[in-house]
Amino acid sequence: MPESIWNHCITSLQSELSPEQFNTWIRPLQLDSQALANEISLLAPNQFIKSWVSDKFMSRIVELVAEAGATRETKVVLGVAANSLARHRRVIPEPDFKPMAVAPVVSNHSAPTSSDMVRADRDVDVEGGLKHQHRLNTQFTFQRFVEGKSNQLGLAAARQIAENPGGAYNPLFIYGGVGLGKTHLMHAVGNALIEKNPNAKVLYLHSERFVADMVKALQLNAINDFKRYYRSLDALLIDDIQFFAGKERSQEEFFHTFNALLEGGQQIILTCDRYPREIDGLEERLKSRFGWGLTVAVEPPELETRVAILMKKATQQHVDLPHDAAFFIAQRIRSNVRELEGALKRVIANANFTGRPIDVELVRESLKDLLALQDKQVSIDNIQRVVAEYYKIKVSDLHSKRRSRSVARPRQVAMSLAKELTNHSLPEIGEAFGGRDHTTVLHACRKIKSLQEESADIREDTKNLHRLLTT
């Protein structure tokens, strides 16, 4: 009985929430088999998820439980699974591979001397962590980060980690498109950790830098120093880990570092442009390990958040930005926060240059080129119209649930064109095609890509459509 009630809740919540929300908060909940009669007892894997669910979703869960036919006396209780900590403390198995041979050092010296080691340290930037704080951008703080629905989960998780590093949300994996605040959030945690403890060893680096440092350490025979340094950190923040894809030796080294830090209770934060499972060329064991802590998505900000970000950035620069001017910019620049910032910079520069106050007119003038370019940009509506016309079907067929090949294939073509030619995110595209899930859009993009290789017809169709839409 509790199972069927809870299944009803899950099904409803899955259709009501975004996939990220559902996967982060609802999917980890388990029904407690030890519950009392008349009780739906749910167990969260940790305190963080428990309190978030309790704040944001509990009232809806209670409604759904009633809707599923539970008696009036049925209580819904939420706890934390007893073994939740054990999960994070489990013994990490020894790596299941043999260390690769290290390339011999190309050097005039027969063996590295102690001065080589110092130089090596400096070269690979591992010397006593002297630079570990310099790499943090002090502007990227929590105070300067604007909260919105699109980044709420990431921000809450980052705040928790700043309070309690190395706790249950280790590693924190933040993923999402470009310019959406992933790096900012990661630095905000680092800055907060250093504010609390100025001696904390916090290292931020881009994954390419990790790879380059490791290669140098190998060349200089300083890999042990490299290892020692990384393992001595209190927190390791690595940006854009999609660059590890295909780099086997780096993945191997990172795997060791990752395990050592996790076991030592040191905090790891990673960012990526996509969900861990979707990184091609990344070893399975890394993918699965990335999911051990908390995985959160940041999404493109919605209009209100874009306005709030602009207002905050203007205030920080002591610039008077009227609300209607901010609104105008936010309405036009929708792709990401970095572009929003760039637009604001242009407006401010123009205001300084001409000595005029900022208003909608000045914004329009300052962003003339950008807006003209945007007007030329293809919209999803446009894609749907052109694709429907091309395949002689109705636009409504593209929104419908019909699965016949004559409709499903054009729909997939239209989705993949929307991904390619617009700035819309996968969930936004899914929404525009009759409220479909973002994974459906992803599947469509992959399908069309592989069909383009196999079928001359599809190649021809997509080429024609491309031309119709862009010229």
Q: Which residues bind ligand ATP (CB under 6 A)?
A: 140, 144-146, 151, 178-184, 240, 273, 309, 337-338, 341
Q: Is 182 annotated as a binding residue?
A: yes
CB of 134 to ligand ATP, least distance (A): 18
Cα dihedral across residues 202, 208, 210, 212: positive or negative:
negative
Residue (185 or 441) nearer to ligand ATP, CB: 185
CB of 386 to ligand ATP, least distance (A): 31
Residue 309 contacts residue 329 (beta carbons within 8 Å) = no
Residue (162 or 388) nearer to ligand ATP, CB: 162
Q: What angle do CA 106, 110, 116 make, to 5 degrees?
A: 75
- Residue 297 corresponds to which tokens in the numbers above? 């998505």
CB of 425 to ligand ATP, least distance (A): 13
CA–CA distance, 278 with 287 (Å, rounded to integer):
9
- Residue 65 corresponds to which tokens in the numbers above? 């439980």
Q: What is the CA radius of gyration of the chain?
A: 26
Residue 434 contacts residue 401 (beta carbons within 8 Å) = yes
The residue with tokens 């520069």 is 349
CB atoms within 10 A of CB 126: 24
Q: Give the three-state DSSP class for 290.
A: helix
CA–CA distance, 462 with 420 (Å, rounded to integer):
11
**DSSP track, 152-167:** HHHHHHHHHHHHSTTS
Q: Is 345 annotated as a binding residue?
A: no
CB of 182 to ligand ATP, least distance (A): 3
Q: What Å distances lie between residue 7 and 31, 34, 35, 386, CA to CA?
A: 10, 17, 16, 41
Of residues 398, 292, 402, 300, the one with CA closest to residue 46: 292
Q: Is 291 annotated as a binding residue?
A: no
- Residue 322 corresponds to which tokens in the numbers above? 């009227």
CB of 422 to ligand ATP, least distance (A): 18
* 172 strand-pairing partners: 269, 294
CB of 266 to ligand ATP, least distance (A): 22
Q: What share of the chain is helix, strand, coil (3-state, %, to 5)?
A: 55, 10, 35
CB of 363 to ligand ATP, least distance (A): 19
Residue (209 or 364) nearer to ligand ATP, CB: 209
CB of 423 to ligand ATP, least distance (A): 14
CB of 121 to ligand ATP, least distance (A): 28
DSSP 26: I
Residue (18 or 183) nearer to ligand ATP, CB: 183
Q: Give the three-state DSSP class for 174.
A: strand
Residue (160 or 183) nearer to ligand ATP, CB: 183
Residue (182 or 438) nearer to ligand ATP, CB: 182
Q: Helix 456-470 and helix 380-391: axis angle, to 10°?
A: 130
Burial 410-419 (b: 16+ CB within 10 A, else e): bbbbbbbbbb
Residue (5 or 337) nearer to ligand ATP, CB: 337
Residue (121 or 299) nearer to ligand ATP, CB: 299
CA–CA distance, 22 with 61 (Å, rounded to integer):
13
Residue (207 or 384) nearer to ligand ATP, CB: 207
Residue (151 or 170) nearer to ligand ATP, CB: 151
CB of 310 to ligand ATP, least distance (A): 10
CA–CA distance, 227 with 223 (Å, rounded to integer):
6
Residue nearest to ligand ATP (CB): 181
Residues of each annotated binding site for ATP: 179, 181-183
Residues of each annotated binding site: 179, 181-183
